[in-house]
Copies of this chain bind each other. A is one copy, B any other.
Amino acid sequence: MICINAAGVRIVDTFAMLSCIDTFDKFALRVLPASLPEDMRCAVRALSRKTVLAAGKQLECGQKNATLVYVCGGATKLVAHASEHREQVVAFHFAGDLLTLPACGPHSYSLEALVESELLTLEYEPFLEITGERADILGQLLERTTISLQRSREKTLALGRKSAIERVCSFLLMMAERIGKPGCGGVELDLPMSRRDIADSLGLTIETISRQFTHLREQGLITTRGRSAVLLLRMDELEKRSGHLSAAA
């Protein structure tokens, strides 16, 4: 934060400083209770590390311990590695999400940025050391972990028992819910992930994803613009094709 400019004058990079404080505060605002004593807050702050990841870069972290990651901004994918050229996107995480990056078990995991992303990382164990007595914080973690578990269960169902078209429709509806904006004549999506990421998330190939998008386009359920913009025109029809129960009724 302190550096020497061309003229040899020591300057304080207030922008970097502010941005660092900013990152922690975003996290604190969302995850830490207002009533947290100042010393505990400081301890957590000391433990936390800000990382800005360029698109395509992955979080460096010792795979011996689990890491808590708060996504301050951007979009990320949590990837499980089966082998060299087989990857499974376990979950997408967007601004405001808190996730646990697991230690290396039978497979290794990594968190990769889809677009430039601002992350706050904390080692899981030491964090719990500090905050393990605070029911409000544990409640917060529990709630977010339960949501992740629920999403993971839904994904399990999709990968285990759904056809390609059902997976794609479920995916679009889920994304609409999480990062969609009401647009002209439907829900507008700006997908931060590539076709490959979608394929790796749904257990399919890029070619299949592309073909299913084409089908949906031909049937007038969606339109696409460029690589990332998707407009969902007929949510009801997408719902029907997603294999959700509501649609069967």
Residues in A lying within 8 Å of B, measured CB to CB = 80-83, 86-88, 90-91, 100, 102, 104-109, 128, 132-135, 138-139, 141-142, 145-146, 148-150, 152-157, 159-162, 170, 200-203, 242-246, 248
Which residues of chain B come closer than 8 Å to A146, judged between CB atoms? 100, 145
Which residues of chain B come closer than 8 Å to A141, judged between CB atoms? 142
The number of times this chain is found in the oligomer is 2
| Contact call A154/B246, Cβ cutoff below 8 A | no
| Contact call B153/A243, Cβ cutoff below 8 A | no
Which residues of chain B come closer than 8 Å to A109, judged between CB atoms? 153
Q: For the complex, give the distance between the alpha carbons of A156 and B160 in Å.
A: 9
A82 interface neighbour in B82, B104, B161, Cβ under 8 Å: B161
Which residues of chain B come closer than 8 Å to A203, judged between CB atoms? 159-161
| Contact call A160/B105, Cβ cutoff below 8 A | no
- Give 18 pairs: A residue, B residue, CB < 8 Å, sorted on A: A80-B153, A81-B245, A82-B161, A82-B243, A83-B245, A88-B161, A90-B153, A104-B245, A132-B135, A135-B138, A138-B139, A138-B142, A145-B146, A152-B156, A159-B160, A160-B200, A160-B201, A160-B202
